[in-house]
């Protein structure tokens, strides 16, 4: 696949860190207009209390409004397992279309079974406004951007490339953080390695924006690096590490990882494009499948 790369376009990128889930959400502004996109928003949840609030999303909304921006897209890099998307809440206030990779249908099928969803749960991605195929382009104002299919962490993962800025989702972490796990249903370490190579084939100067950072070894939180930096220094895939080395390491590491704290609510909400499921009486309700994951 030849991707329509254009690093002469330099969008303004503002990151918003959510300390509860170590997620970074972004507002990306077209350099030639007031149009913008939001990538990977977060809805706050106190899971023990079953309480959902919107402090993080309100911060994004305030930024868009105060800067006089027009929201055109709400992009999900994938179905997150560690935080809930606030896309519908933001869409209600600011407009914009919610987009995700077309392989969301695979994720909906797998987790629709695990959560024993009834026939009212559509497995065709219709909860989203746009489903992207590999190489699909769309506009943010006058800036053409494209989506690159990067499975491995999950089947529906996509990296969105907006000019010289690429939003890598959970394909890569900062160089000292390595890569994301590949052991969720539909994940695969070898596939993830191949997807990472696609990202690293972008021009060296491409700015890479992480979806997560955990501040390894006590360093401050960071979320921006470059292709050149990842190629040279990434501890899992940089400096010429082979696919065999990566798969062995990733598989051994994943076997030791606990499930993310918010995986149960996150999947149920995010596979519905950020809508909280409802029970037969229409009451917002989350399930816990016992020994299902």
Piece in contact with Fe ion (CB under 5 A), picked from 53-61, 169-177, 234-242, 251-259: 169-177
Pick 83 or 207: Cβ nearer Fe ion:
83
To Fe ion, the closest distance from the beta carbon of 212 in angstroms equals 7
Piece in contact with Fe ion (CB under 5 A), picked from 36-44, 167-175, 220-228, 231-239: 167-175
Tokens for 59? 């911060």
213 interacts with Fe ion by CB under 5 A: no
Quick one: residue 36, left, alpha or beta (phi over 0 = left, psi -120 to 50 = alpha)?
A: beta
H-run or E-run covering 189: helix 189-200
To Fe ion, the closest distance from the beta carbon of 170 in angstroms equals 4
Pick 170 or 230: Cβ nearer Fe ion:
170
18 interacts with Fe ion by CB under 5 A: no
Dist CA 17 CA 50 (whole Å): 23
Tell me the CA distances in angstroms from 290 to 110, 114, 293, one per residue in order: 16, 10, 8
To Fe ion, the closest distance from the beta carbon of 10 in angstroms equals 27
- Minimal CA–CA distance to 266: which of 36, 60, 40, 32? 40
170 interacts with Fe ion by CB under 5 A: yes
Piece in contact with Fe ion (CB under 5 A), picked from 9-17, 60-68, 122-130, 166-174: 166-174
H-run or E-run covering 263: helix 263-270
To Fe ion, the closest distance from the beta carbon of 80 in angstroms equals 5
Pick 80 or 103: Cβ nearer Fe ion:
80
To Fe ion, the closest distance from the beta carbon of 120 in angstroms equals 26
x/- site string to Fe ion, residues 50 to 89, per CB under 5 A? Answer: ------------------------------x---------
Pick 125 or 155: Cβ nearer Fe ion:
155
Pick 38 or 94: Cβ nearer Fe ion:
38
Pick 61 or 132: Cβ nearer Fe ion:
132
- Minimal CA–CA distance to 204: which of 179, 239, 229? 229
x/- site string to Fe ion, residues 112 to 151, per CB under 5 A? Answer: ----------------------------------------
The count of chain residues that interact with Fe ion, using the rule CB under 5 A, is 2
CA 145-267-87 angle, to 5 degrees, is: 45
To Fe ion, the closest distance from the beta carbon of 85 in angstroms equals 11
Pick 44 or 170: Cβ nearer Fe ion:
170
Tokens for 140? 């943010």
Pick 80 or 149: Cβ nearer Fe ion:
80
β-strands 51-53, 207-209 pairing: unpaired
**Within 14-132, where are the H helices?**
55-66, 87-94, 104-114
- Whether 150 and 195 have beta carbons less than 8 Å apart is answered as yes
Cα radius of gyration rounded to whole Å, the chain:
18
Dist CA 20 CA 190 (whole Å): 30
Q: What are the residues binding Fe ion (CB under 5 A)?
A: 80, 170
């Amino acid at each position: 696949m030849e991707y329509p790369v254009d690093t002469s376009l330099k969008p303004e990128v503002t990151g918003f860190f959510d300390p509860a889930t170590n997620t970074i959400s972004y507002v990306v502004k077209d350099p030639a207009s007031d149009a913008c996109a939001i990538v990977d928003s977060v809805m706050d949840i106190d899971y023990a209390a079953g309480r959902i609030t919107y402090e993080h999303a309100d911060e994004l909304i305030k930024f868009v409004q105060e800067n006089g921006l027009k929201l055109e897209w709400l992009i999900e890099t994938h179905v997150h397992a560690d935080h809930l998307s606030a896309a519908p809440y933001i869409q209600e206030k600011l407009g914009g279309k919610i987009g995700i990779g077309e392989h969301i249908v695979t994720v909906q099928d797998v987790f629709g079974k695990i959560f024993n969803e009834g026939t009212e749960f559509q497995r065709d991605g219709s909860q989203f406004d746009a489903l992207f195929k590999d190489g699909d382009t769309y506009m943010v104002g006058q800036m053409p951007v494209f989506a690159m299919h990067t499975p491995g962490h999950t089947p529906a993962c996509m990296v969105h490339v907006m000019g010289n800025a690429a939003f890598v989702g959970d394909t890569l972490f900062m160089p000292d953080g390595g890569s994301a796990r590949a052991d969720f249903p539909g994940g695969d370490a070898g596939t993830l390695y191949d997807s990472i190579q696609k990202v690293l084939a972008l021009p060296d100067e491409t700015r890479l924006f992480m979806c997560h950072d955990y501040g390894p070894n006590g360093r401050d939180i960071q979320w921006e690096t470059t292709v050149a930096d990842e190629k040279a220094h990434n501890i899992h895939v940089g400096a010429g590490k082979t696919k065999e080395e990566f798969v062995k390491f990733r598989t051994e590491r994943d076997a030791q990882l606990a499930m993310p704290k918010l995986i149960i609510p996150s999947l149920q909400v995010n596979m519905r494009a950020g809508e909280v499921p409802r029970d037969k009486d229409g009451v917002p309700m989350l399930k816990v499948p016992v020994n299902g994951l």
